[in-house]
Amino acid sequence: MALQCGIIGVSNVGKTTIFNCVSNTRGETHAFAFTAGKSNMGVVQVPDERLYEIEKHQVTNKIIHTTVELVDIPGLAKGSEKLEGGGNKFLGDIRNTDALIHVLRCFDSESLPHIDGSVDPVRDIETVDLELQVRDIESIVKKIERLKKASKSGDKNAAHAIEVLERYREHIEELNNARTFEVNDEEKKYVDDLFLLTMKPVMYVCNVDEGSAVGGNHYFDRVKEYLKDKGAEVLIIAGALEAEIAELENIEDRLAFLKDAGLQEPGVNKLVKAAYRLLDLQTFFTVGPKEIRAWTITKGMTASQAAGVIHSDLERGFIRAEVMKYNDFITLGSEHACKEAGKLHVEGRNYIVDDGDILFIRFNV
Ligand SMILES: Nc1nc2c(ncn2[C@@H]2O[C@H](COP(=O)(O)OP(=O)(O)OP(=O)(O)O)[C@@H](O)[C@H]2O)c(=O)[nH]1
Ligand SMILES: [Mg+2]
């Protein structure tokens, strides 16, 4: 069920720098206007303080975080649709992702010229959006052509599908993204199979200079202003600073470094947490002396499906789930106390698991 978040943006904005801070996979960064030739994929731990809170009440051998997949995709450039092969191949990598983190250059640097001549994050958003929109229009047009043929050979539903797709096309041709097109669920079905690039949920990361790590800068302000009606999350990350922090082995040194920069936690932690939210993921916990562990589910999953995330045997042989709410466990301090207080609930297979639930699965195979 691994869901993937793609890191996108124009060339040389710091995508790989940021990716390297969160992932153990090392991608190559370049200090000149040269676009990397391949995507880097990394499995990244999702920081969750609740695991350490639980540990205060349960002695355990180890703590296991849940993970999310990040893909660092080489920079897009204006007009890449015109390049033979070259510009296109990363678009396929974007298509395979479930959500997008769009990194924007919001720092000045004499030694690192911007590929389009000046630092302008709003222009960069438009550049990338346009690249993706061009692709989406191509996908839509292809499907319309297919449907026209089907219609000629008597497919009665084709006309309605074509009509919906034409409306999408018009919307995108006016430089809008598919995600902002208002349609009902029935109509949305006609584009679901196209995996449109501008349909994917997106968030923005302003890569700022060290001094702007806390409050941002005028580039960040412009991005905020541009995106204010679009409902997307915008984070500030000082990529170069984060890279220095990530180099430090010692936790104490890291904390001291963060404190000097005025930060409470590494910006990349915020990034991973935000990516998790963007993918619409939730966490449940299993708690015991061997391990305290966080597991990932999508919203709306049932107790037996959640059991299946742990192991298929647990789903197959599911009997019941014993559920404690995270807050009850922390307040009352133990499973026993939860039981005494009537806060340990026995639930069947159709129970919808909540974020933060502590589950104990009874099963029999
Ligand atoms: N001054 C400064 N330089 C940065 C910052 N973030 C990245 N860089 C530098 O910018 C250059 C490009 O960074 P990368 O992380 O390779 O950029 P990218 O977006 O992955 O580039 P492509 O993959 O080629 O599109 C490197 O030399 C980085 O050291 C930053 O916050 N401040
Ligand atoms: Mg890169």
pLDDT value for 84: 47
Strand partners, 67: 45
Q: Whose CA is nearest to atom 24 of ligand 1?
A: 35
- CA dist., res. 8 & res. 17, Å (int): 12
Task: Using the mean position of ligand 2's atoms as its centre, give its distance from the Cα of residue 12 in Å.
Answer: 7
Q: Please say if the pLDDT value at position 85 is more than 60.
A: no
Cβ–Cβ < 8 Å for 8, 36 = no
Q: Please say if the pLDDT value at position 234 is more than 50.
A: yes
Nearest atom within ligand 1 for CA of residue 241: 31
Task: Using the mean position of ligand 2's atoms as its centre, give its distance from the Cα of residue 153 in Å.
Answer: 48
What is the arithmetic mean of pLDDT over 138-164? 91
Task: Using the mean position of ligand 2's atoms as its centre, give its distance from the Cα of residue 209 in Å.
Answer: 18
Closest ligand to residue 18's CA: 1
Q: Which residue has the tokens 């207080």?
A: 341
What is the arithmetic mean of pLDDT over 62-84? 80
Ligand 1 pocket: which residues have CB below 6 Å? 9, 11-17, 29-31, 35-36, 74-75, 107, 109, 112, 207, 209, 238-240
Closest ligand to residue 30's CA: 1
Q: Which amino acid is at 275?
A: A
Q: Which residue has the higher pLDDT, 91 or 357?
A: 357
Nearest atom within ligand 1 for CA of residue 9: 19
Which of 37-41, 77-81, 198-202, 233-237 is predicted with the least confidence, judged by mean pLDDT?
Answer: 77-81
Cβ–Cβ < 8 Å for 305, 296 = no
pLDDT band of residue 219 (cuts 50, 70, 90) is: very high
Mutate which of 17, 39, 101, 111 for ligand 1 pocket (most atoms within 8 A of beta carbon): 17
What residues flank ion ligand 2 with Cβ within 5 A? 15-16, 36
CA angle 287, 289, 293 (to 5 degrees): 35
Q: Please say if the pLDDT value at position 311 is more than 80.
A: yes
Q: Please say if the pLDDT value at position 17 is more than 90.
A: yes
Task: Using the mean position of ligand 1's atoms as its centre, give its distance from the Cα of residue 231 in Å.
Answer: 27
* Mean of per-residue pLDDT scores for the chain: 90
Task: Using the mean position of ligand 1's atoms as its centre, give its distance from the Cα of residue 105 in Å.
Answer: 9
Q: Please say if the pLDDT value at position 307 is more than 60.
A: yes
Q: Which residue has the tokens 């990363």?
A: 90
Nearest atom within ligand 1 for CA of residue 242: 31
Which of 4-8, 83-87, 129-133, 351-355 is predicted with the least confidence, judged by mean pLDDT?
Answer: 83-87
Nearest atom within ligand 1 for CA of residue 18: 15
Q: Which whole-number Å values give the CA distances from 138 to 9, 160, 196, 202, in the listed order?
A: 21, 19, 10, 21
Per DSSP bridges, beta strands 291-298 and 281-287 are antiparallel
Considering the chain, what percentage of its residues have pLDDT values greater than 90?
68
pLDDT value for 113: 79
pLDDT value for 89: 67
Nearest atom within ligand 1 for CA of residue 11: 25
